[in-house]
Amino acid sequence: YNKRKFGELPFHLVRSDRFEDLFENVLFSYLWLHSKVSCCPLQAILADFEDAVENLVDNELIKQLNIVADGMRLGGVVLSQHPDMLASQIVGRLLPVKNIYPRVKGLIEQCDQLGIQHCALVPAATPAIGFVS
């Protein structure tokens, strides 16, 4: 993992007011979040969310950022030991607000589509015997 990129990209996107890039490619991107939680402490991810919140004026976006950050904070114990559980943590904690917040909805959909490759709860192979009918 490129830890320097994980540390500096969110900071520079906020400072250059490129919030759309920040949201699309970092804070509401399952692949980014999974990669960062796999190699960095959860506090580093939460700091990215806090930095964005401090520099935004749009209350709707601030609310969505706080919802995702709070969901990750609540799953912190699990995520610190099992980062591959990120998709199930996000979906499980944020599903009740999926249809209220569009960026949260997009993140949940990414978790459904992309998180399956990391989730230990999904069988990786089909059974050797056929299904009993």
Domain boundaries, the chain: 3-116
Band (pLDDT 50/70/90 cuts) for residue 129 is low
pTM of the predicted protein model: 0.86
Band (pLDDT 50/70/90 cuts) for residue 124 is low
Q: SS3 letters for the chain? A: CCHHHHHHHHHHHHHCCCHHHHHHHHHCCHHHHHHHHHHCCHHHHHHHHHHHHHCCCCHHHHHHHHHHHHHHHHCHHHHHHCHHHHHHHHHHHHHHHCCCCHHHHHHHHHHHHHHHHCCCCCCCCCCCCCCCC
**Per-residue pLDDT tens for 69-108?**
999 999 999 999 999 999 999 999 999 999 999 999 999 9
**Per-residue pLDDT tens for 17-29?**
999 999 999 999 9
